[in-house]
Structure 1
Amino acid sequence: MKGMRRLAAKTVDECKKSWHIAGPAILTGVLQFSIWFITTAFVGHLGSTELAAVSIAQNVIEGFAYGILLGMGSALETLCGQAVGAGQLNMLGIYTQRSCIITLATALLLTPVYVFTTPILKLLRQSDDISELAGKYAVCAIPQLFAYALNFPLQKFFQSQSKVWVMAAISGIAVAIHTVLNWVFVRKLGHGLAGAAVVGNLSWWFIVLAQVAYMVSGYFPESWTGFSKSAFRSLSGFVRLSLASAIMLCLELWYYTAVLIMVGYLKNPSIQVSAMSICMNIQLWTLMVALGFNAAISVRVSNELGAGHPKAAKFSVAVNMLTAAVLGIVCTVAVLAGRNLLPRLFTEVPEVVTEASRMGFLLAATVLLGFVQPVLSGVAVGAGWQSLVAFLNIGCYYLIGLPIGAVLGFKLKRNAMGIWSGMLAGSLLQTAILLIITFRTKWKKEALQAEERIKSWGGPIEPQQSPTN
């Protein structure tokens, strides 16, 4: 009984630590994703072609850039988290400045992708009318690209120190502003896709500037000591780690992009793409909840490994996996119950609503899987396994999932449902392999590797105490 009480106390303590990060991270993720969600909802009422165009622009062009920049910024999750665990807070500001330099340079390199959206989509054999509208929207949305570049490093800076509630508050204000401005410029004044893009620019830059103000306001005296020339040192090594993180994450995000492009090759692409994009928006909305646990487990694992506490890291993985699975079941039931109602939030076109409703069962299965997989990815980031997971993603997603989807969708005439089934098969295999890797991990070895990583980037380690160790 004494052992059970001790285990229960440890579990409650770990849940508190994880929810302290996951709660506001979930809220921040949901609110920031709601900016895209709200844009899609307002544009969807302009017509099915407009909805398909914005969905293609968001999922293919913006999703491409978003994935690269988020991945580049995610290198901070490993470095900052382990530095916090080792007590080296003075390095966080330097790491963040280095990451911002790299992500801004990357955004500049990605700008031509936005400029040439129309020919790129036509090259991918998307319909001319959808490609033209998507191109106009993407050009107007270029300022969002540079906002993403700064947003992700700033988020990792706050998350690694478990300072995330202000991020949630800023995002909430941004969503309120975004909703009102969309209602004015898109609905009332009729500025269409261009108006929706400009409103998105304003909302994202409000988030970035507010976060910068929070960081330099004096609330982080140890981790933010001002701008430093040291940020320009060791950039090559930082770029290598950033690229590994970007490749890992991009292979996951681009998987959905590839699926949407495949759907664009089907007959009646406007209906099929619109239905698929609605399901993806719903799935990605629930994924924002799961990504809260991705952030939590990444911070917890990196903190404990950086502090030299392998048992605490392993225990945190188990607790977060169980919590995410329970939440996944709840969201899956909700999606099943609302599969006929949720599509109407995006469109009033009967054919699109019907097609999206038919995909409800596959969507529910994807939602359940989508709660477990991000936790496993968070473990990989916290431990620094980005390169390993990148190779795993190539095999499961692109060599297995997409070919299965192509056969089911085109050869067997299952259309969008067949393509989604292939995507689900690849995700299921990837999750199963990650589970095996995670539970066979030698955590003492991972803690030693974290110590070496911190020494090479920041200096000697000072042991930290952990109540869960």
Structure 2
Amino acid sequence: MGMSSATETLCGQAFGAGHQNMMAIYLQRSWIVDGITATLMVPLFIFATPIIRFLGQEEELAVKAGPISLWFIPTIYSFVVSMTTSMFLQAQLKNLIVGWLSMASFVIHVFLSWVFVIRFKWGVNGAMAAVNMSGWIMVVGQLVYVIGGWCPNTWTGFSNAAFLDMFSILKLSISSGVMICLELWYYSILVLMAGYTKNATVAIDAFSICLNIYGWEFMVYLGFLVAASVRVSNELGRGSAEAVKFAIKTILGITTSIGIVLWILCMAFGNRMAYLFSDDEQVVQSVSTLSIYFAFAILINSVQPGRFRSADDILKEIVDVVAARLKGKAINRLDSIATGAGLQSTVAYVNLGCYYGIGIPIGILLGYVADYQLKGVWIGLMSGVVMQSLILACFVWKTDWDEQVRKASERLNRWLVNA
């Protein structure tokens, strides 16, 4: 996911600058880089059992996870094509076809899951087979659309130019990948930390329920932040500051409004939302004790349009406009807008410091030393997120927008080749 955002950055800026012939080359370079990365990851899936055992998990869990992990090998290779191609299509505003293909893949996935798991009783193997088949159907649909002639201006065929200047795309892809990994691993580590609290089974259940709902609401913002990142990339390439300002004000206004509504709902029904997942009263009670912290996590997340795609130097002029309206509210949702500029490594460093230098240590201190248990772990989680928001807001405030336009132009001209 992170490495594919490099495709989004480059293709978005190329489309905005009118260098549409370069978009196919960027896409093919991303396939090469991501494909090599996926291959390097394969041993993690092959040796999942000893790795999980090394992390101190129960032996039964480690043994059962081994065969399941092998099913994910075809999945990661499908991601190589599907994620990069989705970025390629979104960068040229072909969001509708991505949506239709995703819907078709989802419907097929549900049907195959019912057939394999319910009808044929294949259990986990059937579920994973459905995942792989539906995922590769998505890949085939995307390739047919792109290569089959529906992108005549941006798909110019396979080119040897894809193998040129690989270091630049590799550097951007790695920084993007690290940025996202630091984000996702943060939540995974916190779940692992919950496993060491008192009554660990209930704690993990409660924490996972909160993270699931947290992930659901983030999917809403994910759509908006993709739109923000693509639009900023396009306008960076085009050099239109006013259009970027309008896009950012719109995204921030919409996501903040949605966040306020969800915050109110969480405050009102926080003691009951666990019943969506479990009827265990201990789990329900544990989730209820987290509901206030969880509600504020939802609110903070909504005014943060882009942690997931984030990255670079967003513009002093934009902040001049937005900050006048937001006056001190977290503006971290600007980090996805930043991805459109191309400095993912900046947010990678911010994520490293905020999540692992602040969030996790605070979670350990409050959860175990101060004995706040699950509450302490969750407060630690939010401490890292809040600090990330503040740092990126300051970063955005000091960014020179004109300089970003110049950098985008230089990047595009440097990587421009005759396809």
Greater Cα shift, 256-265 or 368-377:
368-377
Q: Per chain length, whose mean CA-contact separation is higher, i.e. which structure has more relative contact order (CA < 8 Å, sep 6+)?
A: 1
Do the aligned partners of residues 134 and 334 (structure 1) sit closer, same or farther apart at CA in structure 2, a change above 3 Å counting? farther
Deviations 1:431-461 (A, max 9, x none): 122122223321111101111011101169x
How far is the alpha carbon of 1:244 from its aligned partner?
Answer: 1.3
How far is the alpha carbon of 1:348 from its aligned partner?
Answer: 4.1
Aligned pair count? 391
User: After TM superposition, where is structure 1 displaced by more than 4 Å over at least 4 residues in a row?
Assistant: none
Alignment of 1:226-375 (within 5 A): 226-373=157-304, 374=306, 375=333
Deviations 1:59-117 (A, max 9, x none): xxxxxxxxxxx111111122111111110111111100110111111111111111222
Do the aligned partners of residues 301 and 397 (structure 1) sit closer, same or farther apart at CA in structure 2, a change above 3 Å counting? same
Which residue number corresponds to residue 330 of structure 2? none
Do the aligned partners of residues 268 and 118 (structure 1) sit closer, same or farther apart at CA in structure 2, a change above 3 Å counting? farther
The CA distance in 2 between the partners of 1:140 and 1:366, in whole Å, is 34
Greater Cα shift, 360-369 or 276-285:
360-369
How far is the alpha carbon of 1:340 from its aligned partner?
Answer: 4.3
Does the residue aligned with 1:224 lie in a helix, a strand or coil?
coil
The CA distance in 1 between the partners of 2:79 and 2:38, in whole Å, is 8
CA contact (8 A) 1:73 1:156 kept: yes
Does the residue aligned with 2:149 lie in a helix, a strand or coil?
coil
The CA distance in 1 between the partners of 2:279 and 2:106, in whole Å, is 23
Q: Percent identity?
A: 40
Given candidates 371, 378, 387, the residue that maps to 1:420 is 378
Which residue number corresponds to residue 135 of structure 2? 204
The CA distance in 2 between the partners of 1:378 and 1:349, in whole Å, is 38
Do the aligned partners of residues 149 and 279 (structure 1) sit closer, same or farther apart at CA in structure 2, a change above 3 Å counting? same
**How does the TM-score come out when normalised to structure 2?**
0.88
Greater Cα shift, 387-396 or 115-124:
115-124
How far is the alpha carbon of 1:336 from its aligned partner?
Answer: 3.8
Greater Cα shift, 133-142 or 279-288:
133-142
The CA distance in 1 between the partners of 2:44 and 2:60, in whole Å, is 19
Does the residue aligned with 2:148 lie in a helix, a strand or coil?
coil
Alignment of 1:127-166 (within 5 A): 127-166=58-97
CA contact (8 A) 2:225 2:251 kept: no
2:407 maps to 1:449: yes
The CA distance in 2 between the partners of 1:421 and 1:199, in whole Å, is 37
How far is the alpha carbon of 1:419 from its aligned partner?
Answer: 0.7
Deviations 1:165-193 (A, max 9, x none): 11111111222222233233334543332
Which residue number corresponds to residue 393 of structure 1? 351
The CA distance in 2 between the partners of 1:450 and 1:109, in whole Å, is 31
How far is the alpha carbon of 1:153 from its aligned partner?
Answer: 0.6
Which residue type is aligned with residue 358 of structure 1?
T
**How does the TM-score come out when normalised to structure 1?**
0.79
The CA distance in 2 between the partners of 1:361 and 1:130, in whole Å, is 32
The CA distance in 1 between the partners of 2:62 and 2:205, in whole Å, is 14
CA contact (8 A) 1:310 1:446 kept: no
The CA distance in 1 between the partners of 2:169 and 2:336, in whole Å, is 20
Do the aligned partners of residues 278 and 156 (structure 1) sit closer, same or farther apart at CA in structure 2, a change above 3 Å counting? same
